[in-house]
Amino acid sequence: MNMNFVVSSANLLGQLQLVSKVVVSKNALPILDNLLFDIKDGILTVTGSDLETTIQTKIELTSCEGEGSIAIDTKKILEILKELPDQPLTFQINVEEQKIDITSSNGQFSMTGQLGDDFPVIPSIKSEKEKKFDIMPDILYGGISSTIFATGDDELRPIMNGILIEFKNDKVSFVATDAHKLVKYSRKELKTDEEVSFILPKKPANLIKGILPKVFSDVELTFDDKNALFTFENTKLICRLIEGTYPNYATVIPKDNPNKLIVDRLELFSSLKRVSIFASQSSSLVGLEFTGNTLEISAKDTDYSVAGNETINCQYFGDNMKIGFKSNFLMEILSNISTQEVIFELSDPTRAGIILPKDNENENEDVLMILMPMMLNN
C-alpha cells in the first residue's frame, strides 16, 4: 500500500513542533520516539504521545493519493524540516516496507518508518460519564498561567502536582497549591448548574498554555473520571487526570484579616530582590515590618554576619506588625500578578497572608493568592 501527498514544509514544521512537545527523550515504548502520520479523506493527522498525554493535529493536504498510517522518527523529521526554506514537499510512503521518500525542490531524503498499527491506541472519554463545557481561550489561559507556578512537586502527594479545575455556582475556578503557597483564579462568564471538577497534571497544563495564544474560538472541554479532552480549532489534546480528592482548600483561606497593606508591586519586588541577597541561603527568610505608612524589608544571615534592609512607602491600616516570608515564594507571587499595586490582608505573624491584585481591570476575574509565613528569629 502506497501513500503520496504534497504539503507545505513550513505548515508541516509548525504542526510537528506543536505535537512533538509531548514526546519525551526516554520512552517506555520505543514507538513513542515517533510521530504517527495517518492519512484519510485528504487530511493528514499527526499524533504524538507519552502514554499519559496525547496531542493530535490535522493538516489539509493540497494533493493526496492513498490512505493509511506510518510512524516517523520525531527528531529526524523535525531536523530535516528546520533546515528547509518554505516549499512544497512530496512524501511518497510505502507502508508495507515502511519506506519514506521526501522530495524537495532541490533534493530527496529517504528514511525508514515503523508500522502505524504499533502506535498505542489513544484513550477516549466514556460517554456515560462525560461532562462537556465550551470555555473561552482567555479563561483557560488565565487560569493555567495564573496558577501553574503554585503547583507542587511531591511524589508522595501527586494530587498537589496538578491544577484543580472546578465548575461551580456559574463560575470556573483554577486552584493550585504546594502547601506553602496557594493560588485561586476564578472567572464568572461560564454558565453551569452542576458542580464538577478534575485535577489537570502539570505537563498537559503547560502544553495547553503553549497552544492557547494561537486559538481564537471556544475550546471544547470534555472529561470523565479518568481523562480530559481539549479540542482546539484543528488540534486535540487528551490527557490522563490525577485521581484522588483535592484538599479542601477553602479551610486554609484566613477569614478574619484586620490588617491591610497597599503597596506598589514592582517597588516591593525590586526591594525584595536586593534585600534577599542577604538572607540565609537555607531559608531565604525575609521580614516585613509594617509601621504607619512605611514597610521595612529586612534579611540577615548570622552564619556569615551579613544583613540588609530597605524601607518603602505604603498604605497600611492596622496594628504595627512584623511577619516573615520565604522571599523567593513572595517574589514568585508578585511576578504572577499584573496590577500596579497589590493588597496584603493579614491577621497575625503566625497565619497565612492573603495577597490580591488592586484595581483589577477585568470585573469577571477574581485572583486570590495565599502565602504561609515563616518564623522570624528576633
Residue 111 sits in the same domain as residue 164? no
Q: Around 147, how many Cα atoms within 13 Å sit in the side-chain half-sphere? A: 30
Q: Choose the final residue of a domain: 63, 85, 118.
A: 118
- With respect to residue 321, please indicate whether it lies within any of the assigned structural domains: yes
- With respect to residue 301, please indicate whether it lies within any of the assigned structural domains: yes
Instruction: Tell me what the mean pLDDT of segment 117-126 comes to.
Output: 92
**Rounded Cα gap, residues 305 and 231, in angstroms:** 57
Residue 39 sits in the same domain as residue 9? yes
The yes-or-no verdict on residue 290 having pLDDT over 80 is: yes
Q: Choose the final residue of a domain: 216, 246, 276.
A: 246
The yes-or-no verdict on residue 136 having pLDDT over 70 is: yes
Q: Which residues pair with 270 in a beta bridge?
A: none
Q: Which residues pair with 228 in a beta bridge?
A: 223, 239
Extended strands (E) in 232-340: 235-240, 259-264, 285-291, 294-301, 306-313, 315-317, 321-326
CA-to-CA dists, residue 286 to 182, 324, 331, angstroms: 19, 6, 11
Nearest to 279, CA basis, from 260, 298, 258: 298
- With respect to residue 123, please indicate whether it lies within any of the assigned structural domains: no
- Domain CATH number, residue 65: 3.10.150.10
- With respect to residue 360, please indicate whether it lies within any of the assigned structural domains: yes
Q: Looking at residue 355, what is its pLDDT?
A: 98
Contact (Cβ atoms closer than 8 angstroms) between residue 167 and residue 192: yes
pLDDT tens digits, 233-244: 899 999 999 999
Residue 72 sits in the same domain as residue 41? yes
Sole residue written with cell 469577571: 364
Residue 287 sits in the same domain as residue 348? yes
Contact (Cβ atoms closer than 8 angstroms) between residue 367 and residue 357: yes
- The 8 Å CB, 24+ separation contacts for 216-221 are 216/137, 217/137, 218/134, 218/135, 218/136, 218/137, 219/134, 219/135, 219/136, 219/137, 219/140, 220/132, 220/133, 220/134, 221/132, 221/133, 221/134, 221/135, 221/140
- With respect to residue 355, please indicate whether it lies within any of the assigned structural domains: yes
The yes-or-no verdict on residue 378 having pLDDT over 70 is: no
**Percent of the residues in the chain that have a pLDDT greater than 90, as a whole number:** 87
Residue 169 sits in the same domain as residue 64? no
How many separate domains does the chain show?
Answer: 3
- Per the rule left: phi > 0, alpha: psi between -120 and 50, beta: everything else, 144 is alpha
Q: Looking at residue 1, what is its pLDDT?
A: 79
This prediction has a pTM of 0.93
The yes-or-no verdict on residue 95 having pLDDT over 70 is: yes
Instruction: Tell me what the mean pLDDT of segment 71-99 comes to.
Output: 95
- With respect to residue 126, please indicate whether it lies within any of the assigned structural domains: no
Residue 2 is placed in which grid cell? 502506497
* Helix 74-82, helix 9-20: angle, nearest 10: 140
pLDDT confidence band for 304 (50 / 70 / 90)? confident
Residue 63 sits in the same domain as residue 141? no
Residue 74 is placed in which grid cell? 520525531
Instruction: Tell me what the mean pLDDT of segment 166-185 comes to.
Output: 94
Chain centroid offset of residue 321 CA:
36
- Per the rule left: phi > 0, alpha: psi between -120 and 50, beta: everything else, 284 is left
Range of the domain at 80: 2-118
The yes-or-no verdict on residue 265 having pLDDT over 90 is: yes
Residue 101 sits in the same domain as residue 151? no
pLDDT tens digits, 4-61: 999 999 999 999 999 999 998 888 889 999 999 999 999 999 999 999 999 999 999 9
Instruction: Tell me what the mean pLDDT of segment 155-176 comes to.
Output: 94
Residue 307 sits in the same domain as residue 358? yes
Residue 71 is placed in which grid cell? 510512524
Residue 229 sits in the same domain as residue 260? no
Residue 258 sits in the same domain as residue 346? yes
Complete DSSP assignment for 272-295 = HHHHGGGS-TTT-EEEEEEETTEE
- With respect to residue 166, please indicate whether it lies within any of the assigned structural domains: yes
- Please compute Rg for the chain using Cα positions: 26
Q: Return the biggest CA–CA distance within the chain.
A: 80
For 129, residues 6+ apart whose C-beta sits below 8 A from its C-beta are 224, 225
pLDDT tens digits, 216-229: 999 999 999 999 99
For 103, residues 6+ apart whose C-beta sits below 8 A from its C-beta are 89, 90, 92
Q: Looking at residue 190, what is its pLDDT?
A: 80
Residue 308 sits in the same domain as residue 230? no
pLDDT tens digits, 319-352: 999 999 999 999 999 999 999 999 999 999 999 9
- CB atoms under 10 Å from CB of 34, counted, come to 26
Residue 215 sits in the same domain as residue 193? yes
**In sequence order, which ranges of 41-82 are alpha helices (DSSP H)?**
74-82
**Rounded Cα gap, residues 308 and 330, in angstroms:** 17
pLDDT tens digits, 317-326: 999 999 999 9
Q: Choose the final residue of a domain: 212, 246, 280.
A: 246
